[in-house]
Structures are given as C-alpha cells and as structure tokens.
C-alpha cells in the first residue's frame, strides 16, 4: 500500500492523504516522495482539478524524514546525498509554483496543507511549500523543525523558506533551537496561516481553494521587489542581525556542532542570491553536515537508539500490556509531586500520599501553583490544568493504595525511612508493582522491606521530573518480568525515554556524573582556576561545569551521599580529597543555589552572579594545562561508563549512550561515551587513560576492554 493516496471530489478538489502503513506517525521516505510527486503531477495536469489539499489520515500530519532513507545515500557518497536532497527541493518547488506561468506568475492551482496535528521536520517543510497552511486546534499538536536537536538542520527547504517567511531573528528559535510550537503559537509567529476547529479543517481547506486568486498563490520571495524581513545581510539592520546570530551560535555551541554553523551559513549565503540558488546552497550545506561524524553520532543516539528504547527494545516480550491506570506516589516533596504531575498529565489517576494529610495537600498545592504559573505564561490551557489537578487526590491514608497498579515511593533518601514506607506499601497494595525512586541506594537491599518481591524494582526519575526525558528502570536481583514491563509501559505513557539497568550503587547515570563533579572539585583543590574548570567543561559540550552542577544538586546533599558511601565502602572509599573541599563549604553554609551561596554567588532571585571570589583564597590558582583538564573531565565519565558495561550494570552500549546524553548531558556531539570511544578509536582512548592513570591514580586505569578492542580493530557500533 503506498504512503500517499489521492481522491478528487465533484468540486474538483483533489485531496492527497498521507498514511504510511504500519506507522503511528507519518515519516517521509524517498519512495514516499516519488509517490507524492506523481500524485501532485497528475493533479496539476488534470484540467478537472481546481486545487489540492495535502492532509493526513492519522491524528498527526508527520514526524519528519525517515533518516534511515539517507543511509543508502550516505554509503554512496556526498554526491548521492546532494542529488537526493535536490529531489526533495524539486518536489517542494513544484508544489510551490503549482503550474503557474514562470513569467506572469498566473495560472497556478492552489495547494493547501491541512494539518490535523503535529507537523515536524519535513512535514512542516512540505507545508511551507504550500500556499496556505491550516492546522487543527489540537492541544497536543506541535509545529516545528527540530532537526538541530539530532545534529542536522532543516535541509528540505525549511531553512530557506522559514528565514524568508519570518526573517532571521524571528526564525532563529525555530531553526537554531528546534523549538516546537503549539498551533496558537505557530499562528502568532507567522509559521501557519490559520488555526481552525478540527471538525472543519478539510472544509475550510476546500473553501480557501475555491476562493483563491492568482495573487494568493505567489510566494513573497517569488514576487518582484521582495525584500527579506528584518533586512538582508548587507543592509544596516541585517548586518547587525547576522553578526549577533553568529556570536550567539558560537557562544552556545562552542564550535562543537557543525549543523548550527552550516544552518547559519545557508541562511546568510542564501539571502544574497535568488531563491532557487538559495535552495542549492541549503542542499550543499546539508550534505556536508550529514557526512560529518557528529551528525552520525547524534542521529544514532538521539534518534535511532532513543526511538528504539521508547518503543520497548528492552521490554520483556512475553508480557501483555501493563499500562498504568491508577498510580500511588508516596512522598509529596519535589520529586513525588513531580511524578504525580507528569502521570496526571498523561491521563493517569494519582493518589499522592505523605506522612500527614497536610503535607500531602501542601505538595499538591505546590504542584497547582506550578501549573498556574504555566497558565499565566500562556504555556498551558486552563482546562488542561484543571484536568491534571482533578486526577490527583492528596492524603495520608494507605488505603488509597488498594487498587493501584503501580506504587512509587519517593521519600527522603534514607534506607531506614524508605524501608518503613515500602513495607507499609507492600501490605496495603499486595497486587501492585512497587517501585522506589531512590537515586543512589541499591534496589536489592531495599527489596528486603517488601520480602524481596519479584514485583519490586527501581524507577529513577531525574529532576525536574516534568523537564527531564530520561528514566532509569533498575532491575534488582529478584525483579521479575512483570515489574519491568509495567515500569516500561508506564514510562511510555509519560512519553519519556527509559533505559533498563541492573542494580548497583548509584546505578548508571549517577555512577558516571558523580565522578565528573568530583573531578572538577579535585581540579579546584589542586589549583586549577575555577573559571578554567567550568569553561573547559562547556567547551567539551557539557551543558554546565562540574562546580555549577554541584551547586544545583546541593552541596549538603553531596555531603550526605559522601558519608553514606564512605560508610558502605569503608577502606575502598576513594574520594577523601573531594570531601576536604565540600565538607568545609557545607559547614560554612555555602551549600549551593538553594541557599544563595555555593561555588557561585547568587542574587535574591537565585540567579548566578559569578564564581564566589572566596574560592581564590581557599584554593590558590596554579598554572594548569587546559588539555589535561579536558581529558580528566571527559575520561573520568567515559571510563566509568565502560566499567558499568563490563560489570553488567549496562547490558548494551546503546542504553549507555542514550542515558548519558539525556541523563546528564554528556557531550551530545559525541553521541555518548561509547560513541566517543568509537570516534577517537579504542587505542587512542586507552592511551589517554593510561597517561592520566600514571599521573593521577587508578580511577583513570583503562579497562582491559579497550586494549582488546584495539587489538581486534572492533567498535561498539558498526562503522
């Protein structure tokens, strides 16, 4: 069955419907492009057709390009990629001109994009080539060009068209940040033309076609005398825009992401030439990005691997659907309330419990205040706020657990407190799967509180819950398939990305991020200036430096974790040098952002004002090698990830890379720690680690796996 089909009604309106078989969301392939091109050509050639409506049979319009379609082209080299991209441009341009006379710009047939829901990537690029864009008033729909988030940029005409439609400054958030807008936001920004009730979407599209005049079909950039909104590069206004955009891109990307530079170059160069030449420039820059190893790594991790995990790659196959209808969350603090919120937003009924009804109600009230702030900023509809709050009942009675499918404990990170709460939960909900949201404590040890049940596991959310995409599902020694399937189905309901890891202290993400923070603290203690440490980390591609991250987590929490870890490991504890820095900081009340004082200073609103000047007196700066600082901050994470794989905490590199990038922001341009090893080569990675180990100790000792991979010439991923 083809991806597109066409039907012409009695009024001469040809409706081309996108409906990719076997997919919940339409994606574009080169085979689909060929089918669409043939249908469009036939409609334009048919004298009985007055206009074309492009729509979808699915709830959404399209999720973008099937990136696997580029794999074959990439194997054939850059020329094949460029030719394939130009095929896309040719179709888009054919739709845009719609048979009109090239000289008079008359005689074309109107083409309307009728979007029932989300239009992302090439789905929006296709709509931008149409003469009118209508989108249904669908609160779940999102409109945008998110390619930059996977190491690409819109290469099917979206870069050139959106920049010319909106102007560079207005288009920048959608092109350079990949911002996805609601239908109302897209209309306000000028991306779409109309937002209409879903029931009248196709009727309105037909109405517009029948009333359209020749002038309605001419794109602004095809009209005589057109000028770029906001100014072309060499106008006074445009000059300032492009200078500012260049500074912004380089500041945000640290020069690590070729896609952002290429996008800006395509817009700048394209603005100096006619439209069709600009499309060729866009295609050339897109080709250079697609063959760059950064794009390969980011596409693999942030698209292919992430999608596979979200679709259940790690789910026990024999288990039936375990979707959660009723959830109980014990602990109404920041984490518990956050879990309750995202579950309720997903349509799940939630019982939010705490030690007292007043504490539970206070947690719900904080949640309500957060939702109200979203409404005030125009980011959330009042009706959706009310529906979310209506699904959450707060209290202290464990009787509310009786009919829960899943119970999540999210109380204070103390094993005795958790054990008591878990025992009560197991007694109150004998048929439910029970999970702990612990971020550091081994799940198998906590399982004793519920009798070591096969229905017990860890579900580790990251903070803030409503923003962080990753969830670690931790399998204890006794955890059974039903519990894992329930957890994965629950995470899928929340539209988050799960990785399944086996039980160990700190699991996977915290196991790797704690050494990164600690290495930054060690460097500070050794005399590497704090500004050097923080800036080198950002130049690596880390979203924040280790000292800022310590402030965000809270130094007093780090102290508690350090004490618990030292008690558990005894003589094996290796972070005494870190404790000599953070313990005095905590004693001095400099415990991080929440206190307005940590490694950084903060203003009354909690905004960083700069590194604390007192650090210079406590840790006098000495000459430091920036390259060594870089290697220490990077390799301390990579080596811990490799050890997690060797010890069976991770079962595959794919989960490790997705977890690293989504969980703590590990240099996304590398694709993750395992992708980084593939990029530099196992031999080079091992040599850099051995060199550091000789100077700084066994935490940098290269695992035997690296030497074995180097000898065999093997990789974690196919080349």
pLDDT tens digits, residue range 89-141?
999 999 999 999 988 989 999 999 999 999 999 999 999 999 999 999 988 89
Q: Is residue 118 part of a domain?
A: yes
Nearest to 119 by CA among 165, 84, 162: 162
- From the number of C-beta atoms within 10 Å of its C-beta (0-12, 13-18, 19+), residue 135 rates as buried
Phi, psi of 471 (to 5 degrees): -135, 125
pLDDT score for 102:
86
Query: What is the structure's pLDDT at 172?
Result: 87
pLDDT band of residue 672 (cuts 50, 70, 90) is very high
Q: Is residue 653 a part of any domain in this protein?
A: no
Average pLDDT over residues 520-549: 94
Instruction: Please report which confidence band the pLDDT of residue 557 belongs to, taking 50, 70 and 90 as the band edges.
Output: confident
pLDDT at 571: 84
pLDDT by residue (tens digit) across 227-277? 888 877 777 776 667 766 676 667 676 777 889 889 989 998 999 999 999
Write the CATH number for 558. Answer: 1.10.1040.50
What's residue 377's pLDDT?
83
Residue among 162, 108, 114, 165 nearest 136 (CA): 114
| C-beta neighbour count of 124 within 10 angstroms | 32
Residue 397, pLDDT above cutoff 90 = yes
For 633, the 3-state DSSP assignment is helix
Residue 71, pLDDT above cutoff 80: no
Q: Which comes out higher in pLDDT, residue 176 or 352? A: 352
Token couple for 234: 């060499």
- Dihedral angle of Cα 681, 687, 690, 696, to the nearest 10 degrees: -90
The pLDDT score that the predictor gives to residue 76 is 81
CB atoms within 10 A of CB 700: 20
Please, which residues bridge with residue 111 across strands? 52
What's the chain's Rg over C-alpha atoms?
A: 28
- pLDDT tens digits, one per residue of 628-653: 999 999 999 999 999 999 999 999 99
What average pLDDT does this structure show over 273-291? 95
Tell me the β-bridge partners of 461: 471
Which of 245-249, 309-313, 456-460, 529-533 is predicted least confidently? 245-249
We report the CATH number of the domain holding residue 215 as: 3.90.226.10
Tens of pLDDT, residue by residue over 564-612, are 888 888 888 888 889 999 999 999 999 999 999 999 999 998 899 999 9
Classify residue 587: in a domain, yes or no. yes
- Residue 238: per-residue pLDDT: 66
Query: What's the confidence (pLDDT) of residue 74?
Result: 79
Alpha carbons 482 and 480: distance in angstroms, whole number: 6
d(CA 438, CA 412): 9
Separation between Cα atoms, residue 19 and residue 3, nearest integer Å:
5
Q: Does 81 score more than 70 pLDDT?
A: yes
Inform me whether the pLDDT recorded for 75 exceeds 90.
no
Identify whether 24 is part of a domain.
yes
Q: Do 492 and 571 sit in the same domain of this protein?
A: no
Whether residues 487 and 587 fall in one domain: no
Average pLDDT, the chain: 92
218 in a domain, yes or no? Answer: yes
Does some domain include residue 355? yes
Contact yes or no for 629/523 (Cβ under 8 A): yes
pLDDT value for 251: 67
Report residue 67's pLDDT band, with 50, 70 and 90 as the boundaries. Answer: confident
Q: What is the DSSP-derived secondary structure letter of residue 304?
A: I
Last residue of a domain, one of 611, 626, 641: 626
Q: Give the tens place of pLDDT for each residue, 341-355.
A: 999 999 999 999 999
Question: Is residue 676 predicted with pLDDT exceeding 90?
Answer: yes
Look at residues 568, 597, 626 and tell me which one is the last residue of a structural domain: 626
pLDDT of residue 391: 96
Cβ neighbours, 10 Å, residue 228: 21
273 and 342 in one domain? no
- Assess whether 501 and 514 both reside in one domain: no
Whether residue 184 is found in the same domain as residue 121: yes
Report, as an integer, the average pLDDT of 178-193. 95
| Domain co-membership, 563 together with 427 | no
Domain containing residue 367: 326-505
Same structural domain, 392 and 529 = no
* Mean pLDDT, residues 488-517: 94
Of 599, 626, 653, which residue constitutes the final position of a domain? 626
Residue 296 lies in a domain: no
Whether residue 479 is predicted with pLDDT greater than 80 in this model: the reply is yes
Q: Which two tokens stand for residue 198?
A: 């879903």
Question: Cα 543 to chain center, whole Å?
Answer: 13
Mean pLDDT of 384-408: 94
The full 3-state SS of 143-168, as one line of letters, equals EECHHHHHCCCCCCCHHHHHHHHHCH
Question: What number of CA atoms fall less than 13 Å from residue 236's CA on the CB side?
Answer: 0
Within its chain, how far is the Cα of 375 from the centroid? 23
CB 191 within 8 Å of CB 166: yes
Supply 630's token pair.
């870089």
pLDDT > 90? residue 280: yes
**Both 501 and 516 in a single domain?**
no
Please give the pLDDT value at position 565: 83
Instruction: Please tell me the predicted confidence (pLDDT) of residue 239.
Output: 65
Please check whether residue 635 lies inside any domain of the structure.
Answer: no
For residues 354 and 270, membership in a common domain is answered with no
**What pLDDT is recorded for position 410?**
94
CB distance 647 to 668 below 8 Å:
no
- 345 plus 460 within the same structural domain: yes
Q: Are residues 357 and 466 in the same domain?
A: yes
Integer Cα distance of 696 and 321 in angstroms: 50
Nearest to 699 by CA among 547, 556, 573: 573
Query: Is there a contact between 105 and 72 (Cβ–Cβ < 8 Å)?
Result: no
- How many structural domains compose the chain? 3
Give the contacts of 210 (CB within 8 A, at least 6 positions apart).
11, 13, 50, 51
Supply the residues annotated as catalytic: 460
Confidence check: pLDDT of 378 > 80: no
Question: Which residue, among 538, 509, 480, has the nearest Cα to 661 in the 3D structure?
Answer: 509
Q: Are residues 485 and 397 in the same domain?
A: yes
DSSP 403-458: T-SEEEE---S-HHHHHHHHHHHHHH-TTSEEEE--SSS-HHHHGGGGTT-TTEEE
Q: Which residues of 150-187 are buried (b: 16+ CB within 10 A; e: fewer)?
A: bbbbbbbbbbbbbbbbbbbbbbbebbbebbbbbbbbbb
Q: Higher model confidence: residue 572 or residue 203?
A: 203
Is the predicted pLDDT of residue 435 greater than 90, yes or no? yes
CATH number at residue 330: 3.40.50.720
């Amino acid at each position: 069955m083809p991806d597109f089909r066409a039907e012409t009604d009695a009024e001469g309106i040809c409706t081309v419907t996108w409906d990719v078989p076997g997919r919940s969301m339409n994606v574009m392939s080169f085979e689909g492009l060929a089918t669409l091109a043939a249908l469009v050509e036939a409609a334009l050639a048919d004298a009985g057709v007055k206009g074309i409506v492009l729509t979808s049979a699915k709830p959404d319009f399209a999720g973008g390009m099937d990136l696997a379609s580029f794999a074959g082209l990439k194997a054939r080299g850059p020329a094949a990629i460029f030719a394939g991209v130009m095929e896309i441009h040719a179709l888009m341009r054919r739709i845009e001109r719609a048979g009109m006379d090239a000289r008079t710009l008359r005689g074309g047939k109107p083409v309307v994009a009728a979007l029932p829901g989300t239009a992302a990537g090439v789905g929006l690029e296709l709509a931008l080539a149409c003469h009118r864009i209508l989108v249904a008033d669908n609160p779940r729909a999102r409109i945008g060009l998110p390619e930059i988030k996977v190491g690409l940029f819109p290469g099917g005409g979206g870069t050139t068209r959106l920049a010319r439609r909106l102007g560079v400054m207005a288009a920048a958030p959608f092109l350079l940040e990949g911002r996805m807008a609601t239908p109302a936001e897209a209309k306000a920004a000028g991306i779409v033309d109309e937002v209409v009730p879903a029931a009248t979407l196709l009727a309105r599209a037909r109405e517009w076609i029948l009333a359209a005049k020749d002038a309605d079909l001419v794109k602004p950039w095809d009209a005589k005398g057109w000028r770029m909104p906001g100014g072309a590069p060499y106008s006074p206004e445009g000059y300032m825009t492009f200078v500012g955009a260049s500074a912004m891109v380089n500041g945000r990307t640290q020069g690590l992401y070729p896609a952002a530079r290429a996008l800006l170059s395509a817009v700048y160069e394209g603005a100096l030439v006619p439209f069709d030449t600009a499309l060729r420039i866009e295609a050339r820059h897109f080709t250079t990005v697609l063959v760059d190893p950064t794009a390969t790594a980011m596409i693999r991790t942030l698209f292919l691997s992430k999608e596979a995990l979200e679709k259940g790659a790690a789910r026990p196959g024999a288990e039936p659907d375990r979707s959660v209808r009723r959830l109980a969350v014990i602990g109404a603090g920041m984490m518990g309330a956050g879990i309750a919120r995202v579950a309720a937003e997903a349509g799940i009924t939630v019982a939010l419990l705490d030690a007292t009804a007043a504490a539970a109600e206070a947690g719900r009230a904080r949640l309500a205040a957060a939702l109200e702030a979203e409404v005030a900023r125009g980011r959330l509809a009042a009706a959706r706020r009310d529906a979310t709050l209506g699904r959450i009942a707060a209290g202290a009675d464990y009787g509310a657990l009786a009919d829960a499918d899943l119970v999540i404990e999210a109380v204070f990170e103390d094993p005795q407190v958790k054990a008591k709460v878990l025992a009560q939960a197991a007694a109150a909900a004998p048929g439910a799967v029970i999970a702990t949201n612990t971020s550091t404590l081994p799940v198998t040890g906590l399982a004793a509180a519920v009798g070591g049940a096969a229905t017990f596991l860890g579900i580790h959310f990251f903070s803030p819950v409503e923003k962080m995409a990753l969830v670690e599902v931790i399998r204890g020694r006794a955890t059974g398939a039903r519990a894992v399937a329930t957890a994965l189905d629950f995470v899928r309901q929340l539209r988050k990305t799960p990785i399944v890891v086996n039980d160990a202290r700190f699991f996977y993400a915290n196991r790797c991020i704690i050494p990164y923070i600690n290495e930054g603290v060690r460097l500070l203690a050794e005399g590497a200036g704090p500004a050097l440490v923080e800036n080198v980390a950002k130049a690596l591609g880390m979203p924040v430096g280790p000292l800022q991250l310590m402030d965000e987590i809270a130094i007093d929490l780090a102290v508690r974790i350090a004490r618990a870890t030292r008690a558990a490991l005894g003589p094996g504890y290796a972070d005494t040098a870190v404790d000599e820095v953070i313990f005095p900081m905590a004693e001095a009340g400099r415990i991080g952002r929440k206190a307005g004082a940590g490694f950084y200073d903060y203003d009354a609103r909690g905004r960083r004002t700069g590194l604390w000047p007192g650090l210079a007196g406590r840790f006098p700066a000495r000459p430091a090698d920036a390259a060594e600082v870089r290697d220490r901050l990077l390799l301390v994470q990579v080596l811990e990830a490799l050890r997690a794989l060797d010890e069976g905490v991770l079962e595959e590199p794919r989960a490790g890379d997705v977890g690293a990038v989504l969980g703590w922001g590990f240099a996304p341009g590398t694709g993750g720690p395992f992708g980084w090893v593939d990029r530099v080569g196992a031999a080079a990675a091992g040599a850099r680690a051995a060199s550091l180990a000789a100077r700084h100790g066994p935490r940098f000792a290269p695992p035997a796996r690296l030497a074995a991979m180097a000898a065999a010439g093997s990789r974690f991923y196919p080349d």
